[in-house]
Structures are given as C-alpha cells and as structure tokens.
Amino acid sequence: MKQLLKTTAIAAVALASSNAVAGGMYIDVGSPAFDQYFSGGGLVANDADTQTGTFTEFGFTGLLATSIYGLTAGGTLDGTIIDTNITADLMAAGITAGGTGGLSLAGNPYVVPGGPNAGDTTLALPDCNGGQCSVSNLSPLTNAAGIEDGEGFGNTWGFDVEYNLIATLGANGPVYTGGYIDFFFNDLINGTQSLAFSANVTGSSINAANLDIFFEVSFVEAGLLFVQDQYGNFQDLSVELANAVASGSNFPTFQIDTNVNPPVPTADGLLVVTGTDGVTRAIRQTTLDGSARVTLVPEPSTLALLGLSLVGFGVASRRRKQ
C-alpha cells in the first residue's frame, strides 16, 4: 500500500507567473482499501478505481495559525516574523499544552483576534486531531467528507499540513522570503502518516486582507497528484518535478491564498511570551480559511512554438481577407 504525507494551512492557488497554466487536479490514493465513503451510518465500498474526480483547489477551514514576531530590547516589533504550526517550535517559543495567557504588547489583556472561541485570551497548540491542521475539502469536488467522487477522502484518508514560513513585516503586512510547507497523507485505516508533497517559499503579495504566498514544489510522492498541463492533459506531478530538476527550470508552482485580518496586528492582539530559550517575543494566533492549488508551467520551447503558431495564424487570417 502506498504511503503518503502530512501538511499545514492555506488558500487559493492561481497563476504564479504569466506563463503558468491553471487546471484541474486529481489524487490517486493508490489502494482500493481507501476507496470507501459513509452512507447509512457505515462505510460503503466505492468504485475501487482509487482516483478522485477532478478538483481545482485544496480547501482549508478553521486552521489554527500562529505568527511569532521578534521584539527589540525596547519592546517594539523588530520586523521579523515566523509563521508555523509545528508543535516543537511553538513550545520553544513559550506556548504550553495547557494554554498561555498574559498581557498583550499594549499592556492590556491579550485577546485572540478571530479566535476559535469568542473572548479567547490564551495561546494554544494546534489540535490536529480536531481538524486544525487539516485539508477540509477538495473544492469543488467535495465540500464535505463522504462524497463518492472523493474516493474515501475524509473517511479513510486525508491530508494534514505542516509549515514554517519566514517573513518581514512591511507597512501593508508580511512579506514572505523563505520557508516551506509540507502536505502529509493520513492513512486513517492504519493510523499512519507519510509525506505527500512539499513546496518552498518564493515570494508573496498582499492586497487589503488577502494574502497570497507563492511556492515551488520541491517533493511529491510518485503517482499521487496529477495536474493538468497547458493542453488539458493530466500529468504525474512527480514526473514534472523530475523533469524540472533535470532541466533546472520551470518547477511546478504552488500558491496559497488566505485572508488575514488585520494584515498588520494590533498591539492588543500580540501576547508577549518568553520562550524556553529565554528570548521574549510577541505572538499572534488566529484561525484561517483558504485554499491552495498546484500549477504547471510550460517549457520555454513550448511557449515559443505557441507564439510562432499564433503568428502564423495571424498571417493566414490576413491572407484570407485579401
């Protein structure tokens, strides 16, 4: 049985460059054992072809998002940010399993902006078993678990997300310069987890409260994720990545689009915490909804041929008009 991967939170993927081609995707879960859905209170065998229907985005709902801000000796933000949902990193920053409360950077009681529960005044570790690290749907294929075309998604298998993102705080919000995101395949039948695909940060953009983070795919499990190319054909992403590594260019891209409000945190929404390393930082925690998508980028030679064919088409059109 194929072993796959685990991941952490994000949003809608569009074109990462002017040459990128956005298309559909499907997952091959690799074993008919996963291909079951809930019906009538129990698991029912599906069509056993192991492949989901076509979807366009991985969806996220209610992910617990934590941002760790550096502080100067004078107690003001120094402009450095680490966004992560990795438990060991959060605990090192001073977040305890029982919750961490205290005063905000403004000296007032800390309030979680947009937190899971109204009036939250403590930081928490993500509850991955409760869905705070999970891909919640394959949009628009499944908006809830138990859909037949989902091939068992949410019932016998699913994805978790794990990430560590590095940014600097600008006037309009965070600017992402490094880090990674990992998607993990959860085998809910056997209780195991394995890496499915990974991507490294290449940049970001922000417009009002809408944040896009851009990535290049760095790893993918063979035979797992299939993405449409510029011709509408589905390609094994592991093969596309291998070709990109061999050529040194045109890596498949990954984009996350999520809403962060406010993009620049208020002083009341930052809890001052001293980590196990003795360093004092400011931490913000909120929940995020969003989506993500992988995009293939055509080879330069293909783009050149497309350009030539369009030029030829234009000439032929002018000739017919004469």
pTM above 0.85, yes or no: no
* 123 CA to centre of own chain: 22
Domain boundaries, the chain: 25-321
Residues 6 or more apart in contact with residue 129 via CB below 8 angstroms: none
The Cα 235–Cα 293 span in angstroms is: 15
* DSSP H or E run through 90: helix 87-92
**The pLDDT of residue 99:** 87
Q: Alpha-carbon torsion 84, 201, 14, 244, what sign?
A: negative
Task: Give the pLDDT confidence score for residue 16 in this predicted structure.
Answer: 32
Q: Residue type at 298?
A: P
- Dump pLDDT digits (tens) for 183-203: 999 998 889 999 999 999 999
The confidence score (pLDDT) of residue 165 equals 97
Query: What pLDDT, on a 0 to 100 scale, did the predictor assign at position 311?
Result: 42
Q: What is the pLDDT of residues 79-102, one digit of tens each?
A: 999 999 999 999 999 999 988 999
Beta bridge partners of 306: none
The SS3 call for residue 97 is: coil
Quote the CA–CA distance of 152 and 150 in Å, as a whole number: 6
The predicted pLDDT at position 256 comes to 93
- For tokens 């195991």, name the residue: 192
Q: What is the pLDDT of residue 32?
A: 78
pLDDT tens digit string along 123-168? 999 999 888 999 998 988 865 555 567 788 888 899 999 999 999 9
pLDDT value of residue 201: 97
Per-residue pLDDT at 170: 87
Note the pLDDT of residue 119. 60
The answer for 79, left when phi > 0, alpha when psi is -120 to 50, beta otherwise, is: left
pLDDT, one tens digit for every residue, the chain (322 residues): 333 322 222 322 222 333 444 579 999 988 877 877 767 677 777 777 888 989 999 998 888 899 999 999 999 999 999 999 999 999 999 999 988 999 999 999 888 765 555 567 889 999 998 889 999 989 888 655 555 677 888 888 999 999 999 999 988 889 999 999 999 999 988 899 999 999 999 999 988 778 899 999 999 999 999 999 989 999 999 999 999 999 988 899 999 998 777 778 889 999 999 999 999 999 998 888 889 999 998 765 443 433 443 443 344 333 334 4
pLDDT at 111: 80
Three-state secondary structure call for residue 93: coil
